[in-house]
Chain A
């Protein structure tokens, strides 16, 4: 099956088996290994990417569902080599430890700030509720998102 869509701003056309998951398409076929597989069943959020700016779980998405759409992965945030303000904020607050959850968290936070540029701490917690992190305890993550929101204003 031939599939065309945009990933991180670049148009791509790939030939994939007709039952390919988006997660495998990104990681295996396109080499974009920043998107992680945690649970594979929608419970952890590690595989979160943005499709047309909206958060989606790549483990529960078929490749065919992004045909003609715009996919943003973590690699697309610092495409120019310059870290995105969210990435800088996560580093500054120690919102990153082992880093496995980080790409998903940052992309979910990116979608939140697009919808709501000045969220409260509770709104951040609520929006990121589908993203599990086993290291940080979440406080630093919330702080990072609030800090990035402030810097963008």
Chain B
């Protein structure tokens, strides 16, 4: 099988120009090549942006971490700067297999905009900004506004993600990430839950939740987040919110699971937050 023609841009401006001419950005290829093979899309040519220095690198900024769009999952997992973002590391460590984590990138995960995207869950929890370059200007938008639906984003023709800026959460957050699926390796989630929970005197002070695979995009169930405040992290207290969570999600049925099963799994994952109380 041959792929479309692939060109290597000289620099970021060249990459933007080539993308504007209809070229499809390529980084790790772990999503794109699978889609091309399935005939899901037929771009005229690909623009290999994976080695542009402007899209690489991971560094601390004031109050956060900036991650180049073409940084691989392994690079992010091992960068000293992400030690302050345990929730990001927990989620990325579950992606695919070691080879896929060496190849795949956070930028690719975001543009792929899968409701199951494991990289998206921590970005939603942390309120990440997506920094975009285009022919006319640079712009920056919250990840929740960037992702529009399954496989759909706010990228305009000719635009590329340059980097992601992730603000550090307030001190003391307990991180949680768990995905449920059908095979341990290469596990594309049937449902996943990520959370950051702050506890004070045995009760939840603040909670952020993000669910994967249970709606057209990753979902923050904000009513449930608010309802958690003041409660202890016990199974009994969490069980009272199980129905609220199950009705907040909007799952579909597909090959991997039925909508009803996904709704139930989300509710059950909520109970598992009780494991944070002992940790």
Contacts and interface: CB of A to CB of B under 8 A. Distances in A.
A19 B2 contact: yes
Contact of A108 (B2, B6, B99): B99
Given A57-B99, A64-B8, A130-B97, A41 B34 contact: yes
Given A40-B37, A42-B34, A20 B2 contact: yes
A136 interface: no
A132 B2 CA distance: 25
A121 to B, nearest CB: 15
A137 interface: no
Given A56-B103, A57-B103, A40 B98 contact: no
A62 B1 contact: no
Contacts, number: 84
Interface residues of A, number: 30
A129 interface: yes
A60 B184 contact: no
B186 A43 contact: yes
B100 A42 contact: yes
B103 A130 contact: no
Contact of A42 (B1, B26, B30, B184): B30
B99 A56 contact: yes
21 contacts: A19-B2, A19-B46, A21-B2, A21-B33, A41-B34, A41-B37, A42-B30, A42-B186, A45-B97, A48-B99, A55-B102, A60-B29, A61-B103, A62-B33, A64-B48, A108-B99, A129-B97, A129-B184, A129-B186, A130-B98, A130-B100
Interface of A: 17-21, 24, 40-43, 45, 48, 54-57, 59-62, 64-65, 67, 108, 111-112, 127, 129-131
